[in-house]
Structure 1
Amino acid sequence: MSKKKVSSETPPSPIYIFRGHAEQINSLEFIENNRYLISGDAEGNIIIWDMISKRSKVQFKAHNDGILNVVKCKDKLISHGRDNTLHVWKFNQLSNIKDGGNKEESIKPEISLTVNSINFCKFDFCYEESHIEISDKRDELFIAVPSAEDSSGIDIWDITNQKLIVSSIGLDQNSKTGYCMGIKIFSNNTFQNLQSITKNYFILAAYESGSVILWSIIINTNELMSKEKNNFAVEKLWDRKEHGESVLSIDLSSDKQFAISTSGDNKIVKYNFDEEFRKEPLIKSTTIKYAGIAEVKIRSDGKIFATAGWDTKIRIFSSKSMKPLAILSYHRESVYALAFSRIESMDEQDRDKSTEEGKDLGNEERTEKHYLVGGGKDQRISLWEIY
């Protein structure tokens, strides 16, 4: 849609509606340079949609209970279910299976981990390629999930080695945060020697109490394969309680300069970080008329963000001013999931076009589309074109 359309009296309309789920939609994500869309529902089903044909390419039951989150990292698809499991799938295996059919029995995860799913908190991941020139170098894929010991804490798993490397973050702080409701994990290793074995990671965590806390975790990556524990140090950097109800969602901008949280209340909060993340963030907030914002997503260029409301509305805001830009009305029941297509720089587009994978998937045709999708209780996925 153009800015003119947003400000006009005629409400914008979705450009397409995906129908294929029979249950509430909990997770949405664009992958493969926006060529495909992944959706996960409350019955544990995953659908991979082709964004050119608008048809489902793959459909299978991934979990015995509802999907909390599905993401793609390199050649892996990672799904988190309400059945207390996290599965890692080989994406090529899934993409070679035709839609639906009788081939579900042939779809098996490459890795399965038992994790905590009691509090509906979606996992998050951090991936870093190894820069150490040694023969056995391995990339690092870390997963952050609520702790199996207590839902107020956070565990970090090393997926590459299938090992729990940090456990129960926050449980020794004697704070009454309640359940962990949202997690973003990211690194701050640009300030370090790329060959350093000591890495600094951060976890931005949102809690049932309405608090948002930033944790710093120092990990000795050289000892990940060892059987020794406590190869890490955890520090709470700051704690802000801006919400009066449980935080339901938190998202981090691609450049890691700010984050936005939403809650069971009607407040939307922006946290502006300093370069090293150690000072308390500058806070800016706004409110909407109706309480209950199930999810927030920041577009990859950081210019706008969207919220999914219990009141059935999808709202678009300016990230800089926090002012509302548009209200998208289509769904008749609560919206629980959102996803923006990734907007790439010219350098990123040129790099992707040079890969064989990009050529096969036709990324040249898709990278310029500024899409937003929303889904929820009505089992439908609305597709919008956003300026």
Structure 2
Amino acid sequence: MPAETSNKTVLVAPLDWGLGHATRCIPVIRELLSMGCHVVIVTSGRPLLLLQKEFPEADFYDLPSYNIYYQKRGSFLVKLTIQLRKILGGIMREKRVTSQLIEQYDPVMIISDNRYGVRSKHVHTVFISHQMMIKIPGSKFIEWIVWQWLNFQHRRFHRIWIPDVAGEPNLSGDLSHLHPVLPNTTFIGLLNRFSGEYDTTLPPNDVLCILSGPEPQRSIFEKMILEQATAIRRKFIIVQGLSEERSDQWVSDHVRLVAHAGARKLHQLVASSQIIISRGGYTTLMDLAPLGKHCIFVPTPGQTEQEYLVEELARHDLCVYQEQKHFDLLSALQQAGSIRPFQLEVEANTFVPQLHAEWQAALQRKMM
């Protein structure tokens, strides 16, 4: 057993494309703080603001994003390919910033959620991702090239954590299970930010809309929901996913607009609602999987990962799948009543023993 050290600093660096990478780090950060670690959270934008509200006791470093523009129309993959230079430049910037943070904080461990440049040969680094491959419709060859590139990147980390289970049933499907995983990979189970008790006396709600993801698509979808919800006589709560704001207001007698809900409040809202409308991001699916709610999923346009995940769930009659460009709220609500609740019998937040094992490995590396 390696000797303990008085320095218990851990860098936690979630990617800032939407809120999902940040929110799935919440249970990990909670456990690190309960271990007495000094947590330095490295991210930017709305994820930074969200985590500052969740963990005011942590330290923060604002690491600029890749500055990716999410188009209003067309293939996300095509746009992403065009902006490849920005992504590669962002990874190089992450490497430089990581070196500076190591010099400043001398961390024992680094946990990077999909930030390929936040790593070090000398500091035990854990990489969190469910995307061991990326679905690229219409081009198996490019899909294979991307898989090879991901494998090359993943080998540079001391440990890969996949937030899913290795067997069946699982949530990520082909994204984590199509190809054999690398030897440094561990399936840690689902990560879920909803934990503990919540207020069960909240009045029941008909429909909860959870907005998330990058702009401008988040705002476009919000406008579509608002326009259609006002004409339907059901009680709606719309959580906008604006972590920089605090407003909570009724915009009509049956539509409530909430700028931001922390983990505990969102858990309460989900539990008290009959139907959930959201994107099909992996973190959202992990949060909802244990709860057995009727769900309507509308993937962010062009994001092939979300499209694949939601198509798989819809194929098993576990959700209503609608494309944003054809979104019909009334039709979706009618369909939601005839499908099975979305529930996956997979235990969440079983990662704690693995985190403690990584901590011991990190201490051992530190003492070398």
Q: TM-score category by the smaller chain? A: under 0.3
More strand, by proportion:
1
Q: Which has the higher contact order (CA 8 A, sep 6+)?
A: 2
More helix, by proportion:
2
